[in-house]
Every structure is written in structure tokens, then in C-alpha cells.
Structure 1
Amino acid sequence: MKKEKVAIVWHKAWNDRTQSFSFFRNLLKQKFEVSEVDGLSWTKNKHDNIKQLNSNDFKLIIFCQVLPTATYLSKLNCKNFVWLPMWDGQNGLRLAILKSLFYKKYNLKVICFSKRSYDWLNPFFKCKYFQYFPKPKKQVSFDKPKLLFWERRENMSYPFIRNNLINEDDFDLITIKQTIDIGKPSNIKTTKKIKIINKWLTKKEYAKVLSNHNVFIAPRLKEGIGFSFLEALERGYCVIANNDATMNEYIIDKKTGLLFDYNNPTKLSINKDLIKKIGTNTMNYIKKGHLQWNKQKKYLIQWISK
């Protein structure tokens, strides 16, 4: 039986690089024939992908992160839409709420992978909340505390981490991955303890790095879904994160991770017994969550297919 066609509109180059939404794309492919369309053009108010979207008989068009204007939607032949908002794009969420009346005439469904996003948008849109859990991987060793930190933003730099959150003496190894999204990387000197990775790694290379650590500091103050820290949780890491979504929707402080207040941080005391206890709790939590996700994802596909 021939599969119905679905388009997913997103920043294709970024997703090809990070594989952030590969789980969702792969889920769609189980039921649909999926076409990926670069959404960068309409975020700059250029509607040059409308022709591409109208040249195929799509049953459904899915917009990742940014919701286009109602004017843009009116130019599309397909009238069934799904929006995947991200909590780290709060300005976009606020704008969508302000203009929500303009979307009422469209069959627009909203899938929220953050409870905070759902709570904001549900009064104004047809929403469902789903919490994604990755498949558990082999748990890391807790012989000695070993820290991995991805420096992505200047406001969550390694100097901030060192000065406000951790004591370097608590760790046997500190690895800093300096592939920054915005701004410039910090000037950090390598030592016998501190190692620097300053290039993008392949998935296989990064998996090897992940297998050699057991403490991870989430690189951003808030996340859309949070694959960077989920990749650590799925290996039973002790994850340290700012107390905001989506991190605090997965992490229970001192049970499945450690949460801190970015505006009022205090130094954390890290030791082998603590991270082993948290890592064990985390692994059990991820296993249960993944079973829950396997049930939820079937309903997700059914819901967007209606």
C-alpha cells in the first residue's frame, strides 16, 4: 500500500548536522512518505518554498520550531498543519499566542515536547503533550567523577561553570567541547586534567567521548527538547542543569540529576557515591520513560493522521 505524503519544514542544514529531530523524522517514516523542506527561507519572510510544497500532494505539512504566518498558510494547497514549538523559542510562542485567532480557520495541531510549552499554548491551540524518552544505552562507569561540558553559549561558558558551580578538584577528568553556537569560545588552557575538543564530532566519535564520562552539564539555560542532555541521561549520567524546561521536566533534583539557579548559583559538591546513586536512579527512570514513549508515539501518529 502506497504511503501518504508528509512534508516536514525545518532548518535542514542544522538538523542534518545535529540530528536533533531524527527521532521524529524516523517515527513519521513508519507511516508516511516524508519529504524534508528547508524552512530557513520563510523565517526571512521569503516564500520561495511554497512552490515546492504545492508541487506535491501532501496530506500534512509539519513546521518545526517556527510557526509561519497565517498569510503563508493561506498560499498552501494542503490545509492540514502540525506545529512543533520549542520552549527555547519563547518569543515565537508569545507571537503565536497574540495571533492565535488568525489560525482558527486552519486544521492546525500543536505537538509540545515540553510541558511548559503545552501549558502556554493549550488555551489557544489544539495541543497535545508528549514526553520523548530515548532508548537506554549501556550505563557508564562510576569509578571516578569525569565531567563533560559542551560550551555552546557565552552565558553558559566554562569560566561561569568553574567559578559558580563546580570544584575542579572533584573531578579526575574534565572535557570541554567547544563548538559554540553564538559568540566566541572561552580561552581555556589545557592541563593534564582539562581536555578541549574544538571541532564537530561524528556521531560515532561523540558516542566514544560520552562513554568515557559520567557527569554532564547541560549547555543551555532552556531547551526545546534537549538532546544534548538526553544523550547523557540515556547512559545513566549525573546531569547538572539550570532549573528550567525542558531540563527540569526530566530531572528531579538530587534524584535523577542536579538542578541549579542560574541567577543565584551555588557550588556543588560532586563525589563518586553521589553520581553513582543519581546515575542508578536515572537509568531506571529512562527505562520506564522509554516504555511510556513507545506507547505514546503510536497515539501521536494516530492524532496527527486524523
Structure 2
Amino acid sequence: MSDVARIAYIDHSFHRTTRSTEFLPEILRRHGHVVDHFWDDAWQGGPPIAWSEVASHDVVIMFQSFCRPDHPYFRQAHPNVVYIPMLDQFGLWRGPIYNLSAFWEPFQGSKVLNFSNALQSMTTAFGIASHFVRYYQPVNARPVPARQGLHGFFWLRRELQLPWQTIRRLIDGSRFDSFHIHLATDPGTPPPRLPTEEDIAKHHITTSTWFENKADLEALMERANVYFAPRAEEGIGQSFLEAMGRGQCVVAPNHGTMNEYVLPGVNGLLYDIHDPQPLDFSDVVRLGARARESTIAGRAMWERVEEDLVRFILAPSETLYAARYQHKFADVQVDPQPAASPAAASIPARLRAFVQRHAVFRSTRFIWHPMVRLARQLLGR
């Protein structure tokens, strides 16, 4: 590879609007490399990114989205593939409902970049060369002035995961001086159940549904000193990290990645989403101040390890598996297809191949795979 690397950056097209993943291409460009963006729109019926579009690049980075070559393993198609998973794509907060070994098998011999401790443990357990780094955003030099009393903010995004009724249970026994609920649910989410008149009067609740200018929403969030995380699980968690950087006390489910940043009673509060109980909000000003301090320290650490991150991305996969991986990298051969007709192939093998080709089936595996396992047990296979 030349000193300047050409990097294909395949990303979920939803991030094109949020720009929440742009920090990585910015780092690579700052180090002098060329980054070509490829936005994957397959999740909403658009065409997937063809492997032929990225195969000639020196590095292929896939951020949550996939770009599959015509090989069982990525290492057979390219010497430097980096996959970046997001913790929330696996639905682990629901419990261990399926085995992930089949999901990770194509990445054997390639590399995984993790922004979550949980994912780092998972991928290293599968023997995949992995690098872990904890992301922190730049922190505003001036903290939001601390407010006395209790002032809450909750973005109600997912009614089925984290409704107002859960938040209401957490604040039972407390009285908020102000509480704003932003009623802008994610696509496909049912309409939210609104607070009762009694709740509105008790906690001085105000609501909003839409802001033409994002700065207006941010100004509203800055009035709070208690920020209720809006999701049961996060990939990185940009929104609650912003709240910590503002000096707010983050209240979040005890799931990743929130519980990798928030230490309950130290720099925030965590709770059991399956059994929410009233929380003690008497020390939120101190917890918010500690949250800001932790993000400042975290950002400094992120900047110190930037060189290591770039080296991991540029290193050919084979150098990270030297003398400790059982499969060959050079001259890897794909077993030829049998001469028999496709109909003669085993049904399970054909189903596996079909699932690998289509992202929608991979992403919904947690729904249909338990039924497949049950069918196998019933059939004795």
C-alpha cells in the first residue's frame, strides 16, 4: 500500500442525515488518506452497494452496513476489510435469544473495530482481530450553567421500548420543576401515549413535536439538568454523550452502551428497564458535573489513541493474524459448486446462502432463527 491509502467507507444511509459517523472519515482524511463514501440504502429498499464498486480500494470499511463479495469469507476477496458493528443492531438487551457465531463467521481472518466493550468481548471470543476504542465527542469549553431544582428532558422516540410510563415510574415520588417531552418518534414506531393531566400539572410538563431549526431543540435540551436517554440500547450513543458533555445527569437503562459510560451514583443514574423503580434525584447537580468531567477526560484519551486507531485500520489483516490463525490467507480456494443442479443442494445450505446475500434477513435473524431451530429439533436434524 502506498503512503496515501484509498479507503472505501460503506455506511448506513440513515447516518447521511445525522452525520453521527462522520468523525472517522474526518480522522482518516486528516491523516492524509482519501476516503470515498458509499451510502447503503438497502435497508429501505434501495440497491445494495456492489462489491465491484469498492474492491479496488486499499481498505474497505463497513460501518454497520454490509457489502458482500462472492465468497464465504471477506478475507478471500480483499486483504484489508474492517467491519464496524453497532451494539444496538443485535438487540442484546432483550436477552440471549440466538447464537451469533454464524453472523461472525464471514469476518474470520478480517478485522473488527469496536466502540463497545461488549462487542469487543464478543468478537475476540470468536477469534477475530479486533480493536476497541471508546469514542467521546469534543466538549464545549463552557459548561451549561447548573440549575437548581429538577428540570427533565426526554425525547420519546420508541414507544414500544421506552415509553413515558417508564419515565413516570422512575420519577414517582419526586416533583420536577419543569419537564419537557419531545414527541418525535422514530419511523415505524406507534404513536406515543401522552402524560395524564395529573402528570402535566405535577411536573410542569411541556411538549414539542418538530423544530425547523435544530438549534431551537438544542436550546431546549440545555435547560434541563436531568437527561433521560431515549433508547433501550445504543450503538455509540451520541445523544446521551452530548448530555454528559453539557453537564447533565444522564438517566439510562442499564444496557450498552450507556452502562459503559455511566457509573450509577458517580456520573449518572442507571435503572432496570424491565423493572423500573423510583430513583433518587437529590444529587443530580453533582452527578452532572462529574459527567462533564468524565467526558473531558474521555475526549483527551480518544485524541491520544488516534494514531493507534489509524494504524489498525491501515494494517493488512494478515499481519494481525500472523502465526495464530488456522486458515491460510494466500491462495485461499473456494470449494467449487457441485455439478448437480441447484435443486440437489441441501435445503439448509441453500437457505444459508440466501440469507447471506440479503441484508434484510441478516438483520431480522433474531426473529426467524428461533423458529428454524425449533423446526430442526422437531425434525430431528
Q: How high is the TM-score relative to the length of structure 1? A: 0.86
Question: Contact (CA 8 Å) 1:215, 1:238: kept in 2 or not?
Answer: yes
Name the aligned partner's letter for residue 285 of structure 1. S
1:114 aligns with 2:125: no
Which residue does 1:7 correspond to in 2? 8
Partner of residue 30, structure 1: 30
Q: Residues 225 and 284 of structure 2 are in contact (CA less than 8 Å); yes or no, is this contact kept in structure 1?
A: yes
Shift of 1:261: 0.5
After superposition, where does 1:201-280 map in structure 2 within 5 Å?
A: 202-271=213-282, 274-280=283-289
Quick check: 238-247 or 187-196, which moved more?
187-196
1:54-78, Cα deviation, whole Å (9 max, x unpaired): 4xx4211111114455636769975
Match status 1:292 vs 2:301: yes
Do the aligned partners of residues 126 and 43 (structure 1) sit closer, same or farther apart at CA in structure 2, a change above 3 Å counting?
farther
Q: Equivalent of 2:131, from 128, 131, 142?
A: 128
Q: Which has the higher strand share?
A: 1
Stretch deviating more after TM superposition (88-97 or 136-145) = 88-97
Q: Secondary structure at the match of 1:170?
A: coil
CA distance in 2, matches of 1:78, 1:42: 24
Task: Write out per-residue CA displacement over residues 158-215 of structure 1, whole angstroms, 9 at most, x where no aligned residue.
Answer: 12211x2114852121111222124123242685722222126644333322322111
List gaps (5 residues or longer) in structure 2. Answer: 316-381
Aligned to 1:10, what secondary structure does the other structure show? strand
Distance 2:134 2:248 in 1: 19
Instruction: Provide, for residues 58-107 of structure 1, a one-character-per-residue CA deviation record: whole Å limited to 9, x for no partner.
Output: 21111111445563676997542111111111269977632544443x5x
- Alignment partner of 1:149: what SS? strand
Tell me the secondary structure at the aligned position of residue 89 of structure 1. Answer: helix
Q: What secondary structure, in the 3-state scheme, does the structure 1 residue paired with 2:118 have? A: helix
Corresponding residue SS for 1:27: helix
1:283 and 2:273 are equivalent in the alignment: no
CA drift of 1:46 comes to 5.5
CA contact (8 A) 1:50 1:75 kept: no
1:183 and 2:189 are equivalent in the alignment: yes
Describe the SS at the equivalent of 1:290.
Answer: helix
Give the drift of 1:266. 0.6
Indicate whether 1:160 and 2:166 are aligned.
Answer: yes
- Equivalent pair of 1:70/1:102 in contact (CA under 8 Å): no
1:304 maps to what in 2?
A: 313
Give the match's secondary structure for 2:130. Answer: strand
Name the SS of the counterpart of 1:36 in structure 2: strand
SS of the aligned residue for 1:180 comes to coil
Counterparts of 1:52-131 in structure 2, within 5 Å, are 52-54=53-55, 57-69=56-68, 71=70, 78-90=78-90, 97-104=101-108, 106=109, 108-124=110-126, 125-131=128-134
Structure 2 CA distance for aligned equivalents of residues 82 and 74 of structure 1: 10
Q: Which runs of 5+ in 1 are unaligned?
A: none
Helix, strand or coil for the counterpart of 2:239? helix
Q: Aligned partner of 1:212: which letter?
A: R
Alpha-carbon distance change, 235 to 51 in structure 1, aligned in 2, over 3 angstroms: same
When normalised by structure 2's length, the TM-score is 0.70
* In structure 2, distance between residues paired with 1:47 and 1:242: 34
Partner SS for 1:58? coil
What is the aligned-residue identity percentage?
Answer: 25
Residue 146 of structure 1 and its aligned partner are, at CA, apart by 1.1
> Which stretch of the first structure deviates more once superposed, 94-103 or 20-29?
94-103
